[in-house]
Amino acid sequence: MAEPLDDYIDAVSKALALPVEDAWRPAVRANLEVSLRLGRLVDEFALPDETEPAPVFTA
């Protein structure tokens, strides 16, 4: 049975021309689940619209 993230992994793999062999898929999926879970923790924190990152770039 396909896992929930498999379609997404296939689509991004194609979009980025990034190979994901079948043998790697469970580990890639597990890592992506962790990244998205932690990403959600960041996402759900309300920041003021005016918040900017702190880039090093200096014009």
Partner 1 sequence: MTIKPESTAADIAKAVAGGQSSALAVVEAALARIKQHDTILNSFTDVTADRARARARAIDADIAAGKKVGTLAGVPFAVKNLFDVAGLPTRAGSKINRDHAPAKRDATLIERLEAAGAVLVGALNMGEYAYDFTGENVHDGPSRNPHDTTRMTGGSSGGSGSAVGGALVPIALGSDTNGSIRVPSSFCGIFGLKPTYGRLSRARSFPFVASLDHLGPFARSVTDLALAYDAMQGPDADDAACTTRGVQPVTPLLGESIAGLRVAIAGGHFQKNVFPEAVEAVGHVAKALGATGVVDIPEASRARAAAYVITTTEGASLHLGRLRKRPNDFDPAVRDRLIAGAMVPAPLVDRAQKFRRWYRAQVMELFKSVDVLLAPATPCVAPKLGQVNFTLDGVEMPVRANIGLHTQPISFIGLPVVAVPVPLEPLPIGVQIITAPWREDIGLRVAHALERMGVVSAPPPRGL
Binding site for partner 1 (CB under 8 A): 8-9, 12-13, 16-21, 24, 27-29, 31-32, 34-36, 38-39, 41-43, 45, 47, 51-54, 56-57
User: CA-to-CA distance for 33 and 43, rounded, in angstroms?
Assistant: 15
Q: Which is nearer to partner 1, 1 or 54 (CB)?
A: 54
Q: Least distance to partner 1 from the beta carbon of 5, Å?
A: 9
Can you read off the two tokens belonging to residue 22? 């079948």
DSSP-derived secondary structure for 30-54: HHHHHHHHHHHHHHTS---TT----
Minimum Å distance from CB 4 to partner 1?
Answer: 14
